[in-house]
Amino acid sequence: MSPDRTSVSRTLVPDPVAIRIEELRKSFGDLVVLDGVSLDILQGKTTAILGPSGCGKSVLLKHIVGLLRPDSGHVWIDGIDMAIATPEEKLQVRKRFGMLFQHGALFEDLTAGENIAFPLRYHTRLTAAQRRARAQEVLELVEMPELHDRPTSALSGGQRKRVALARAIVLEPQVVLFDEPNSGLDPMTSTTIDDLILRMKERLGITFVVITHDIVQAVRISDWVGMLWQGRLVAYAPLPVFLHSEHPIVRRFLSRTL
Amino acid sequence: MSLLPGLARFGRFLGQIVWSTVSNPLPVGRALEEAHRIGVNSLPILLVVSVFVGTNLSVQGASAFSTIHAERYVGMFVALAGVREMAPIMVASMVAAKAGTEMASQIAVMRIQEQIDALEVMAIDPYWFLITPRLLGILLVLPALTMISIFTLVVSAYGVAITQLGLDGHTFLEQATATTHAMDLVYCAVKAFVFGLVICVLSCYHGFTSGAGASGVGRATNAAVVMAAVSCAILNYLLSELLFG
Ligand SMILES: Nc1ncnc2c1ncn2[C@@H]1O[C@H](COP(=O)(O)OP(=O)(O)O)[C@@H](O)[C@H]1O
Ligand SMILES: [Mg+2]
């Protein structure tokens, strides 16, 4: 990634779009969760999606990776519409994606290291020793080098998040999706996670999509911020613009925490 | 859930298992692990139950036939009832209760903790990863467990017949082997195979479709074992008609 990120170059050269979401609609029975959401997620940028809990943030994320099928609308990734993609096409997209689930979704009967090495086992030709070494390397990246042989069931909440983060990036994905990386964490651990995201973006040039209800985190890490409210994206702008948005919901969200 | 959409969903689930199993490499190592685990977990209880079902078949057989002075048919009774009917369904019930509930609850927990979603996002087929090894494992081990149960049951029935009931051992064995043949054991293996399929598929299905929370896992596990036991009982009748009828 180019270190040059002046606002001039940003306005003159439009950033390439990594994910284009068009008019996404999804209901569960009578419950309308997404009611026409459109947004472009830019490559190499960190995009935060804010919103109160239960507003459909996780549902939006699951549409991006094709875990849910929308009632209508599109999710374009590299010319593939995840809304109607074949299993092979989804596979192709997912191999370049990493995802951190809200509660980690780690396999409980494996150690932390085995969880991290898990994708390597199925998507690389590395030997067991090489996989182990790579898992250790990524654990060091998330600043938890001592956890390698710890059973997953013995990990604390913050440790789980970091191990899950390590698993999400072990294959060096181009896009990483986070579902509430800070939920349930103390402020100090939250800050560490934010710093990790910032560092990985710089070092690995990853496109991050971060779902959060934590405005502080959004401000610290994101380039673009969107606000999801009652099934719609009521604001979506670069961070400085977003912070001065006049939208009443955005103002309410900002006034609460800042 | 209404019947037709439910059946359609189940049908898709079955299709997906078949497709995922044939279009991916066979997980031989993990299937053997599953077989080993199911076998080791179920064997002790199975042996105990088989012994005591065998004893009672002899006792009840003797008490029924003694009214017409035909105790010599106890061997035949044990062979027909014990080998053909009791052993396969007994093994199926035991394995449904132990391995089936374990499959359902493990998979249900993985579902509600989003581990199954995580597998999909990691581009690993969850049907192949979670169901195929369990299916192959149970198909391997259930016929073997059934044979062990048959042997145990017959030996214990024989023991009771000659010691407690004072029957003639030679007659017992003669009667038993006159009514059952090698083919009967093959048919028992067929039954076991079908029961294994039913237990695994139903348990995994309920796990995969589990509702949220601890209560969802509980309901899924409960539904799995009830459905598996009932289905096996009904199939046992149909298969007996088909194979031995
Ligand atoms: N698979 C599902 N079936 C039915 N309702 C769902 C499902 N997934 C999410 N919902 C509902 O959709 C709404 C949004 O959920 P979610 O996206 O998880 O919220 P959040 O913004 O807190 O992540 C909630 O009301 C939730 O109950
Ligand atoms: Mg959520």
Q: What are phi and psi of A232, to 5 degrees?
A: -130, 155
Q: Is residue A258 scored above 60 in pLDDT? A: no
Q: Is residue A25 scored above 80 in pLDDT? A: yes
Residue ID of nearest Cα to ligand 1 atom 9 = A59
Mean pLDDT, all residues of chain B: 93
The rounded distance, in Å, linking the Cα atoms of B217 and B128 is 21
Q: Check CB contact under 8 Å for B117 and A62.
A: yes
The rounded distance, in Å, linking the Cα atoms of B113 and B90 is 34
Calculated CA dihedral for residues A239, A244, A246, A249, nearest 10 degrees: 50
CA-based nearest distance B122→chain A, Å = 7
What is the residue type of A17? V
Check residue A12 and give its pLDDT: 55
Check residue B166 and give its pLDDT: 86
More confident residue, A9 or B197: B197
- Tokens matching residue B159: 């023991």
Check residue A61 and give its pLDDT: 95
CA-based nearest distance A95→chain B, Å = 6
Structural domains in chain A plus CATH codes: 1-96+179-258 (3.40.50.300), 105-172 (no CATH)
Q: Any chain A CB within 8 A of the CB of B15?
A: no
The rounded distance, in Å, linking the Cα atoms of B191 and B134 is 18
Q: What are phi and psi of A184, to 5 degrees?
A: 75, 10
Burial A66-76 (b: 16+ CB within 10 A, else e): bbbebeebbbb
Question: To which residue do tokens 């609850």 refer?
Answer: B105
The share of chain B scoring above pLDDT 90, in percent, equals 76
Using 50, 70 and 90 to split pLDDT, how confident is the model at A29? very high
Q: Do residues A164 and A144 make contact, with C-beta atoms less than 8 angstroms apart? A: no
**ipTM of the prediction greater than 0.90, yes or no:** no
Q: What are phi and psi of A222, to 5 degrees?
A: -100, 155
Tell me how many degrees the CA angle A194-A121-A139 measures, rounded to the nearest 5.
Answer: 30
Average pLDDT estimate for B102-109: 96
Average pLDDT estimate for A110-120: 95
More confident residue, A204 or B227: B227
Average pLDDT estimate for B86-111: 95
Q: In terms of DSSP bridges, do strands A80-81 and A232-238 run parallel, antiparallel, or are they unpaired?
A: unpaired
Q: Any chain A CB within 8 A of the CB of B121?
A: yes
Total Cβ atoms within 10 A of residue A204? 14
Q: In terms of DSSP bridges, do strands A46-50 and A175-179 run parallel, antiparallel, or are they unpaired?
A: unpaired
Chain A residue numbers with beta carbons less than 8 Å from the beta carbon of B121 are 65, 67, 94, 97, 99
Check residue B37 and give its pLDDT: 94
Domain boundaries, chain B: 29-244
Q: Is residue A168 scored above 50 in pLDDT? A: yes
The rounded distance, in Å, linking the Cα atoms of A85 and A52 is 30
The rounded distance, in Å, linking the Cα atoms of A99 and A61 is 9
Burial B28-64 (b: 16+ CB within 10 A, else e): eeebeebbeebbeebbeebbebbbebbbebbbebbee
Q: In terms of DSSP bridges, do strands A232-238 and A224-229 run parallel, antiparallel, or are they unpaired?
A: antiparallel
DSSP H helical ranges for chain B: 3-22, 28-66, 74-77, 87-95, 101-112, 115-121, 126, 132-163, 169-179, 182-208, 213-244
- Tokens matching residue A193: 């996670």
Q: Do residues A240 and A80 make contact, with C-beta atoms less than 8 angstroms apart? A: no
Check residue B1 and give its pLDDT: 56
The rounded distance, in Å, linking the Cα atoms of B140 and B99 is 14
Mean pLDDT, all residues of chain A: 89
Kind and range of the H or E run holding A9: helix A7-12
Q: Which residues pair with A211 in a beta bridge?
A: A49, A179
CA-based nearest distance B36→chain A, Å = 17
Sheet-wide strand order for A17-28: A31-42, A17-28, A72-77, A80-81
Q: Check CB contact under 8 Å for A91 and B123.
A: yes
Q: Is residue A1 scored above 60 in pLDDT? A: no
Residue range A73-107, pLDDT digits in tens: 999 999 999 999 998 899 999 999 999 998 889 99
User: Nearest CA to A112 among A159, A45, A182, A51?
Assistant: A159
A129: CB partners within 8 A, 6+ apart: none
Q: Is residue B31 scored above 80 in pLDDT? A: yes
Closest Cβ opposite residue A105 in set B115, B123, B124: B115
The rounded distance, in Å, linking the Cα atoms of A167 and A101 is 11
Provide the whole-model pTM: 0.88
Check residue A190 and give its pLDDT: 85
Q: Any chain B CB within 8 A of the CB of A95?
A: yes
Q: Any chain B CB within 8 A of the CB of A68?
A: no
- Tokens matching residue A170: 């072990």
- Tokens matching residue A43: 């490559």
Three-state secondary structure string covering B16-82: HHHHHHHCCCCCHHHHHHHHHHHHHHHHHHHHHHHHHHHHHHHHHHHHHHHCCCCHHHHHHHHHHHH
Q: Is residue A32 scored above 80 in pLDDT? A: yes
State the sign of the Cα–Cα–Cα–Cα dihedral B208, B211, B214, B217.
negative
A178 three-state secondary structure:
strand
Using 50, 70 and 90 to split pLDDT, how confident is the model at A171? very high
* Pocket-forming residues, ligand 1, beta carbon under 6 Å: A 28, 31, 33, 51, 53-59
